[in-house]
Chains A and B, each alone.
Chain A
């Protein structure tokens, strides 16, 4: 089964330091479970489910883990997944400080070194080679696209 054009999944959260890291990560995880249900109901195969859930997880956890602690007022985060013309599109946005993920370069993992920065973004780039970033009107936006297997 091929996901039908027009199928859309969308979430929006506001993460605050007061909520605490664990609670914020639980919110992301709950959204991930909803995304999984959406992808399964849309007829995605396991490879698409893996890629889209991985991108969701890495993008959505970035703010709770690295940004929200420095932003007392909190940060709004949005994620939308849509199937259009045989392609899965993910659009992520947050209103935290400007951050260009394409400018972040990771090095391969080495368990003997302790260097692990940027690993999540490196993973996204592998599953979504065409990753676009923009910062407009206070919003970081990342767009990802991937052909859906038929």
Chain B
């Protein structure tokens, strides 16, 4: 699968945005998970948004990183969002019942007000 490219940024002080392109698999999920864990050491973060509009594959190893993010958000009474998932990624999320623990959106525009009190 295409090599994974990712960036971490803040949409707001309490919203972490992770942008992913390529394939999230066993060869890169450990590194991504460690970076996400490090970013979420910032206790202000309550929401994690994964922009996966450029993600062509997510394998079971990648789902574990999603679960890690979901757990972090749940512990802070926040929420994990998946944005722009292609049909394959959506199917994987549904099969594994992960959609019960996160929110899916079609566009980042849907989350403009996220994190505002």
**Number of A positions contacting B (CB below 8 A):** 33
Q: Which of B90-104 contact A (CB under 8 A)?
A: 91-92, 95-98, 101
Segment among B6-14, B37-45, B59-67, B107-115 that sits at the interface with chain A: B59-67
| Complex contacts, B70 vs chain A, CB 8 Å | 111
- For residue A126, CB closer than 8 A to chain B, the reply is yes
Q: Which of B69-84 contact A (CB under 8 A)?
A: 70-71, 74
| Complex contacts, B71 vs chain A, CB 8 Å | 111-112
Asked if B96 and A122 sit within 8 Å, CB to CB, the answer is yes
Chain B CB within 10 Å, residue with most, of A26, A28, A50: A50
Q: What are some 23 contacts across the A-B interface (CB < 8 A)?
A: A29-B25, A29-B27, A33-B2, A35-B1, A36-B1, A46-B56, A46-B88, A47-B88, A50-B88, A53-B57, A54-B57, A57-B26, A58-B59, A61-B26, A61-B59, A65-B26, A109-B97, A110-B97, A111-B101, A116-B63, A116-B64, A119-B60, A123-B95
Contact of A50 among B27, B63, B74, B86 (CB under 8 A): B86
